[in-house]
Amino acid sequence: MIVLMAAFLLVLALGGAGYVYAGAGRERQQKRFAAVVKPQAGRGAATPDGNAIKRKNVQQLLKQIESRSAEQKQKITTRRRLDMAGFGGVSVRKYWIGSAALGLFVVAFCFLTHQGLLVIAMAAFAAGLGLPRWVLGFLKRRREKRFTAEFANAIDVVVRSVRSGLPTNEALKIVARESPEPVRGEFAKLVEGMKVGVSLEQGCRRMYESMPTAEVSFFGIVMTIQQKSGGNLSEALSNLAGVLRDRKRLQGKIKAMSSEAKASAMIIGSLPVVVMGIVYLTTPAYISLLFTERTGNLLLVGCAFWMSVGIFVMRKMINFKH
C-alpha cells in the first residue's frame, strides 16, 4: 500500500510539472500580467518627470561629495596640517627642521640635568614629534572657531548681495574684501582661484581642505547643487545661515551644560602634576629618586600611561558631538 501511494504521488508530481512546463495556464498568467502593467503605463511610470531626474542627480552629487570628504579625512599630510593651522607660507622642510631643533634642545637640557636614558628618550619624542603636532592642532582648532564665528555673517552678506542683483562672483568678492580673518583669507583664495579658471566646486573643495569644518562642507554642498541643478541661491544660503546659527546656539548650550564636568576633569587631571611639582620644590631629595633610579623611571612611565588613559576616558565622557 505504501509503495502504491508513493507511486501515485510521484506520478501526480510529474504530471503537474509537465502541465506547468507545457504552457497550460499561460494565457491566464499573461492576462493577469497585462492587468497589472497597464495601469502603471497609463500613469506614466516608465517616463520619470524632471523633478525625479533632478532628485536623482542631487543624490548622486551628495554621494560623490561624501566620498571625497572621507578620502580627505583619511589623507592628512603635514602640508595640509600647516595649511589648516594658518601656516601656508611655512614649508614642510622648515617645520621638520624646527621640530628637530626643539628635540635636540630638550635632549641637551636633559643631559645637563643628568636625567636617565628613558627620560631623555621620552622627552625627545614628546618635544620633537608630540609638541609640534599638538601646537598645530591647537592653532587649527582656534582658527576653526574664529572662522565659524564669522561664517554665518559672511553668508548673509552673500545672500543680501545676490538679492540686490549682484552676481555670485561679486558677492564672494565683497566677502573676501570686507570680512575679518580667517574668513577673508579663505574667500580670497576662492575668488583668486575662480579668476584663473578654477570652478566653484573645486574652489569649495579647496576651501574645505584648508578649513575642514561641517559649516564649510554645507556651504560647498549648497553651492555645488545650486550650480548643477539650479534653484534659488539666496533662499538656500539664507536657510544655511539659519542652520549655522542654530548650530552655534546648540554649541553654546552644550558648553554651558558640560562646564562643570570639564572643570572637574581639569582639576583631577592636573592634581598629580601640581602635587609632584610642590613636593619637588619643598623636598627635592625625596622625589628625585623617580628621576635618577631605573625603578623610579619605570614608575613615572606607568603613572604617565595611566594618567593618559584616565584623561582620555574623561575627555570622551565630556566631549559631546553636535
150-176 residue pLDDT tens: 888 888 888 888 888 888 888 888 888
Please work out, in degrees rounded to the nearest 5, the angle formed at the alpha carbon of residue 73 by the alpha carbons of 255 and 54: 95
Mean pLDDT for the stretch of residues 170-187:
86
Amino acid present at 183: V
- Per-residue DSSP letters for 55-122? HHHHHHHHHHHHHHHHHHHH---HHHHHHHHT-TTS-HHHHHHHHHHHHHHHHHHHHHTT--HHHHHH
Question: In angstroms, how far apart are the furthest CA atoms of the chain?
Answer: 105
- Tell me phi and psi for residue 181, to 5 degrees: -70, 150
pTM summary value: 0.61
pLDDT for 225 beyond 60:
yes
**C-alpha dihedral sign at 60, 62, 64, 70:** negative
Position 72 scores a pLDDT of 55
Confidence of residue 40 (pLDDT cuts 50, 70, 90): very low
CA separation for the pair 136, 81 (Å, rounded) = 7
Contacts of 300 (CB under 8 A, 6+ apart): 119, 290, 291
pLDDT tens digits, residue range 88-111?
778 888 888 988 898 889 888 888
